[in-house]
Chains A and B, each alone.
Chain A
C-alpha cells in the first residue's frame, strides 16, 4: 500500500505567469536592483496586516480589505519585516543578484527544528519538489516574529523564481 497519495490538483500553486500579473509582484526591473518582497497573494480574502506593518509604507491594500496587496517597488527595500505577519505565509523577499551566481530567498518557516546556518538543504518549488541545493545563510528568530522564523537560503540564480520552500533531514 503506498504511503502518499498522487496529487491531482493545481490548487495552492500559483504559476509564474499568474504571479507576474498580481499587484504583489514588484516587477522584473525592480527585482534586478536588490532585495524586494514578492507577495504571492491572489485571492480576495479580507486581510491587511501587511499594509499596517510595513515600515516604509510600501504595501497598499486600502478599502475594501479584500483588495490584493500592492507593492510599491520604489519604496520596498526588502527589509523582511512583512514576511512573518502574513497569515497566509505567502510573502518572500528575493535578492536575485545576491552574487554573480546565486540568489538569496527569504522564506517563512514554522517547523521544528530550524535549520542551522551553513547547512545545505533541499530547495523546493511550490509543489514541494526538490529542485536544487539551498545553502542556509541566515536563520532569523525573534519574539517579534512570533514563531514565524525566517530562513534565507542561497540558491543557483536559475531558481530564484522557483524555490519557495526547504526540506531537510534532522
Chain B
C-alpha cells in the first residue's frame, strides 16, 4: 500500500488535513482505531464556540458529521478499527486491523493527529469500579446511551468537568457536585453558570481523598486542599455517590511521536510534553507532521485549523499548490489560529506555541 499522505487519527485535525490535501489531488489514507471517525467530536453534545468558520453554535457531533460528509465528497479512504502500532524510518506505517490482520502503508508524508489522553489522579480506592474518566462517561452516554451512574461526583472544574456535569444531568443523573483543587473554577464561567443554575454545587479548594465502597463506589471522602494542593488535615468529610468522574486534564497522546524519536519539549501551558514543529507543522523528522491536540491541548476549532494548515503544507510540498497560493492559504489559516489564541484562555497557548517554534529553531541550529 502506498500513499502521498498517511493521516493517523480521524478526529477534527486529521479529517481537515485529509480534506485540504485531497482537494489538491494528494493521495490520502486516513487510519483510526475507533469504529467511527470524528474523534472526540462524537462525544460532544454541546454547541461549540468560535466563529462561523469554526462552525460555532453547532453541536460537536454535527460538526463531526459535516466533516465526514466533506471527506466522503473528496473520496478520502478511511480505515476504521485499525490501530497504528509503529512508524518506521522508511516511512512505513504499520497497523493491525479489527480481525487481527496486519498491514502497512508506505507514505511520502505522515500526519500524526492522535489527539489527547486523559490524565489521572490517584487516591485510595481509585481502582474501584465506579471511578472513570470524563471521556469514558461521555462515551457511555452519547455512543451507547447508557447512564454510567445515578449520583455523580465530578473531580475537576476545567471545561471538560463542567461540560460533563451538564451532560450527566441531561442524561438523568444527579450530580452531587464538582470539586476543584484550585481556589477558582478553571473552565469558562458560562459553563459554570449553566450547572450552577441547575443547582449543581462547585467546591473549590477541595480534593478527593478516597473512594469508598464495598466492591464498587458508594461514596467518597473529600477534604480541603491547601495552596500546595496538600490535604488540610481535619477537614475530611464524606459524600455519597455511585460514580466518580475524573476530569483532571488532558495531555498529548504522544506514543507514536516517542517511537519515532521526534524532538519534544515540556510546555506546561500546552498540557505537557509536546512535539516541536515549524510554521508548517512539520516536526524535527522530515515528512512527519502534527496537528490538533497532540501539538498542545486546545480546542476543536484550533484542531481543525491546524489540520487545514498541515494539509495545505503537504500539498505544497508535493507540488500540488504553487508557492504563492500556498502562502496565501497558510497565512489565512495562521491568522485565524492567532485570533483563537488570544484573551484570558488563549494567551498562554499562544506563548506555548511561540516556545515550540523557537525551541525547534534552536535545536536545528545547534
Contacts and interface: CB of A to CB of B under 8 A. Distances in A.
B342 interface: yes
A41 B190 contact: yes
A66 B52 contact: no
Contacts of A7: 177, 196, 201-203
A6 B51 CA distance: 37
Interface string B333-363: 0000001101111100000000000000000
A37 interface: no
A129 B199 contact: yes
A148 B47 contact: yes
Contacts of A112: 170
B189 A12 contact: yes
Interface string B186-202: 00111111111111111
Contacts of B57: 49, 53, 85-87
A129 B200 CA distance: 10
Interface stretch (A98-106, A120-128, A131-139, A150-158): A120-128
B50 interface: yes
Contact of B200 (A2, A6, A42, A128): A128
A8 interface: yes
A119 interface: no
Contacts of B339: 46, 63-65
A70 to B, nearest CB: 16
Contact of B196 (A41, A110, A128, A147): A128
B174 interface: yes
Contact of A8 (B188, B195, B204, B301): B204
B185 interface: yes
Interface string A22-57: 000000000000000000111111111100110000
Given A46-B339, A64-B342, A12 B199 contact: no
Nearest to A130: B199
Given A8-B203, A111-B170, A164 B197 contact: yes
B157 interface: yes
B47 to A, nearest CB: 4
Given A64-B339, A87-B46, A6 B201 contact: yes
A111 B48 contact: no
A47 B197 CA distance: 22
Contacts of B58: 146
Given A45-B345, A126-B193, A4 B176 contact: yes
Given A5-B201, A11-B157, A48 B193 contact: no
Interface residues of B, number: 56
A87 B48 contact: yes
A66 B56 CA distance: 13
Given A3-B151, A53-B57, A87-B57, A11 B49 contact: no
A72 B354 CA distance: 38
A86 to B, nearest CB: 8
Nearest to B338: A64
A50 B290 CA distance: 33
Contacts of A111: 169-170
Given A46-B346, A53-B57, A5 B177 contact: yes
Contacts of B216: none
B179 interface: yes
A165 interface: yes
Contacts of B151: 3
A168 to B, nearest CB: 12
A128 B203 contact: no
A12 B238 CA distance: 25
A1 interface: yes
A64 B189 CA distance: 20
B139 interface: no
B185 A11 contact: yes
Contact of A65 (B51, B174, B177, B180): B51
B247 to A, nearest CB: 15
Contacts of B201: 4-8
Interface string B207-246: 0000000000001001000000000000000111000000
B199 A127 contact: yes
Contacts of A124: 197, 199
29 contacts: A1-B219, A3-B240, A5-B179, A8-B202, A8-B205, A9-B203, A11-B204, A12-B193, A12-B197, A45-B345, A46-B49, A46-B50, A46-B340, A48-B52, A63-B339, A64-B339, A65-B339, A66-B343, A66-B346, A86-B57, A87-B56, A89-B190, A124-B197, A124-B199, A126-B193, A127-B196, A128-B196, A128-B197, A146-B59
Given A2-B238, A41-B190, A65-B50, 11 more contacts: A5-B239, A7-B177, A9-B204, A12-B192, A14-B193, A45-B49, A46-B49, A86-B47, A88-B194, A90-B190, A90-B193
